Amino acid sequence: MFENNPLSLICSHVCHQAIQCEGSCVLAKKDMPVAITTIERYISDFYLNICRPAFSTKESGKIAVIGSGPAGLVAAFILLRKNYKVTIFEGKEHIGGILRYGIPEFRLPKINIDRIKELLYQSGVFIRPNTTIGINFSIDDLFRDGYHAVFMGTGVWRPLRLNIKGESLGNVHYAIEYLKNPAVYRLGRSLIIIGAGNVAMDVARTAIRQGCRQVRVFVHMDEAVVSARKDEVEYAKIDGVQFEFFRLAIEITDKGVIFADTEIAEDEQGNKYPVPLPHSEKLEVADTVIIAVNQGPRSVIVSSTTGIKVNEHGLVVVDEKGQTTREGVFAAGDVVTGAKTVVDAAYRAKRAADAIDEYVQGKLASG
């Protein structure tokens, strides 16, 4: 399992098993599926206690890995196995990316990320924390200093805005920023969360643990549009989180959020969207508002580098192997696909790492 996915222990904690492994078990059609999650966690946890990875000989070439989230970690492991000299550049103090700074401790104990870090060191990796490519160095600097290829796994850390009045007020925060360090925020006794994905559930359950007495999640349509895992929604309800449906945020004030009631309409393509009902606006009072409607990539690397194409959403454009539009630069994970699962990032990072090996060895063979 570790050879196939170095983050198998992480996946056993955070992946959507009901849709993925256990959801695909044939026994799930009539009864309970095999407890793949529990088995995977037990085996993976035990293996990390005894694993002694081979040290990279570093004779295959030199690779820069930008970002130490799921994609960067997997790419680093694969390339170290192929005997590359790998340096991870991490903009924050600790490695882990979204695993460390975006998933609460009660869902993913951080000690598991530290165990992964130790295995990387045993494999011969170099890690440069507090180093942001695009600010401290550019990709051009990396090639100047002899790196044969660059892997980008920088994730999506730019919170998307609602673009409504009041979003800059002092009682408003963004989910991805809050989850980095919840302890530094004073939310008060009551909280409104706008959005209903897994990040919103993490915020809601964390806020309860941080002392919020009333936590409400507002959704602009019905429960069918909730993208969070069903079990996470149920856990949130057990923790005391309240849900309000058919409520669209119109304006944020110092006292809370003005919502309009909605009904569902449908366009010619069959896409559903909310329509505010006239004269239905109402102020919902809360001490704090947290917006959790998704994230996009930051542009610091792309803006400081020529030749890397992005799409209309700012996501890096790659081919089927993970090669960007600039030679020698590869990418995988959320910076390519938008926010997805850890296992999806791992799969794409493995494919990109193999493509990097093919690219570098081809370049070295041709002189």
Along the 367 residues of the chain, how does pLDDT read in single tens digits? 999 999 999 999 998 777 788 888 888 888 888 988 899 999 999 999 999 999 999 999 999 999 999 999 999 999 999 999 999 999 999 999 999 999 999 999 999 999 999 999 999 999 999 999 998 899 999 999 999 999 999 988 888 899 999 999 999 999 999 999 999 999 999 999 999 999 999 999 999 999 999 999 999 999 888 988 888 999 999 999 999 999 999 999 999 999 999 999 988 888 888 999 999 999 999 999 999 998 888 777 877 788 899 998 889 999 999 999 999 999 999 999 988 899 999 999 999 999 999 999 999 998 7
Pick the CATH number of 8-156+296-365 from 2.30.42.10, 1.10.10.10, 3.30.70.2190, 3.50.50.60: 3.50.50.60
What pLDDT sits at residue 304? 75
Report the 10 Å Cβ neighbour count for 154.
30
| The predicted structure's pLDDT at residue 136 | 87
Angle in degrees, CA 105, 108, 112, rounded to 5: 110
Rounded to 5 degrees, φ, ψ at 26 are -65, -30
Q: What is the dihedral of CA 73, 79, 82, 83, to 10 degrees?
A: -100
pLDDT at 298: 77
**Alpha-carbon distances, residue 139 vs 92, 135, 148, 152 (angstroms):** 18, 10, 11, 10
Q: State the span(s) of the chain assigned CATH 3.50.50.60.
A: 8-156+296-365, 161-293
Q: Give the integer Cα–Cα distance in Å for 354 and 334.
A: 19
Tokens for 366, please give them: 């041709």
Which pLDDT score is estimated for 184? 95
User: Residue 30's pLDDT is what?
Assistant: 83
346 and 338 in contact (C-beta within 8 Å)?
no
The DSSP call for residue 176 is H
Give the type of residue at 279.
Answer: H
Quick one: how far is CA 340 from the chain centroid? Answer: 7
CB-based contact 41:5 (threshold 8 Å): no
The yes or no reply on domain 161-293 and CATH 3.40.109.10 is no
What is the structure's pLDDT at 70?
96
Q: Is 128 exposed, middle or buried (0-12, 13-18, 19+ CB in 10 A)?
A: middle
CA 264: distance to chain centroid? Answer: 30
pLDDT computed for residue 206 by the predictor: 97
Write the CB contacts of 185 (distance below 8 Å, at least 6 apart in sequence): 173, 178, 210, 288
Evaluate whether 87 touches 64 at the Cβ level (below 8 Å). yes
What proportions of the chain, in percent to the nearest 5, are helix, strand and coil? 35, 20, 45
